[in-house]
Structure 1
Amino acid sequence: MTSAGATAHPHSGSGFARVRRDFRAWRRTRPFWAGLLVLLAAAPIIYFPYFNLSLGALSVAMSTTAGAGSLVIGLTLIVLGGLLWFQPVIRFFAGCVAVFLGVLSLPISNFGGFFVGTLCAATGGLLALAWGPVNTSDDTEEPSGRAGE
């Protein structure tokens, strides 16, 4: 016969479950989604200025002098995304710079990677600004300090 504990997931004690649980705990202590969006914003901002479109005999090269500015903006966004993950204490600075670079990429990098990079950088930066560490204390005291009155 089965006991109540036998209905648990068969792989709950596996290494995969432990890694997943550890990753979830790590992710909750930092602005993970903000960092991911800032990292993803770098891809279209870097890619599109160097994009070559070939349609048969017609070849359109989009590589311009703005490519250098796009590369600098994209690499800076990659660094900021990594800093949001591994140094969450600087989230306010990184969020402000990510929003600024996302808006700056509009005139420099083909409308900010055709608006995809700008939207990701601005959203990630604003998420970083809005994120705050979770208070894990179990205090039931009211903010005024008058619990139970």
Structure 2
Amino acid sequence: MAGDSSRGMRSAFRHWRAARPFWGGLLLALGGAEILLTEKASLKVVMHIGTQGLAGYLLPAVMVLCGVLTLVSPGQRLFYSILGVLATLGTWLTSNLGGFFVGLLLGLVGSCLAFGWLPDQEPRVGRRKRRKLKQAAGPTQAVQP
């Protein structure tokens, strides 16, 4: 009985994930979180430095927000992905070279994935399912050109 509910939850999650740019939003949010974690300055130091120090925390927070909003509101993915790419590129200057390149790359890849996602595209068929469908179809004859 517990297996049935976990299968239902897994199926519901797959359906939810297929209806939005999941990997793009997730990578964008993870990139922003990684950059935030590499920031070591205390808030007193940031306020003393000024807007440059504040931007070091603000831009990664915008990246996380854009990633989460891409997941919650996939209809606005183009705006969030463009804003996410701009914030990601801004972290190159403000946040330890974009979180030592890791957060920068995660943010750029996530934004590009979110931008390129198409909502009306058929979901991909997994390798196992393709194999099952091929076996169920039986032997096929060679197609002549």
TM range (shorter): 0.7 to 0.9
1:64-99: CA deviation from partner (whole Å, max 9, x where unpaired): 534421211121111111111110011111111111
For 1:45 and 1:67, locate their aligned partners in 2 and report how far apart those are by CA, in whole Å. 13
Q: What amino acid is aligned across from residue 104 of structure 2 in structure 1? A: T
User: Is 1:100–2:86 an aligned residue pair?
Assistant: yes
Superposition deviation, residue 49 in structure 1: 2.4
1:31-72: CA deviation from partner (whole Å, max 9, x where unpaired): 0000100110112221222169xxxxxxxxxx6534421211
SS in 2 for 1:132: coil
Could you tell me the TM-score, scaled by structure 2's length?
A: 0.72
The structure where strand makes up a greater share of residues is 1
Specify whether residues 67 and 43 from structure 1 end up closer, same or farther in structure 2 by C-alpha distance, changes over 3 A only. farther
Q: Name which of 102, 118, 142 aligns with 1:132.
A: 118
For 1:86 and 1:18, locate their aligned partners in 2 and report how far apart those are by CA, in whole Å. 21
Q: Name which of 40, 58, 67 aligns with 1:50.
A: 40
For 2:20 and 2:53, locate their aligned partners in 1 and report how far apart those are by CA, in whole Å. 32
Question: 5 Å matches for 1:1-149?
Answer: 14-50=4-40, 65=49, 66-135=52-121
CA RMSD, Structure 1 to Structure 2 (Å): 2.0
Could you tell me the TM-score, scaled by structure 1's length?
A: 0.70
The share of aligned pairs that are identical, in percent, is 31
- Does the CA contact (< 8 Å) of 2:78 and 2:114 recur in 1? yes
How many residues are matched?
A: 116
Computing the radius of gyration from Cα coordinates, the structure with the larger value is: 1
SS in 2 for 1:18: helix
The structure where helix makes up a greater share of residues is 2
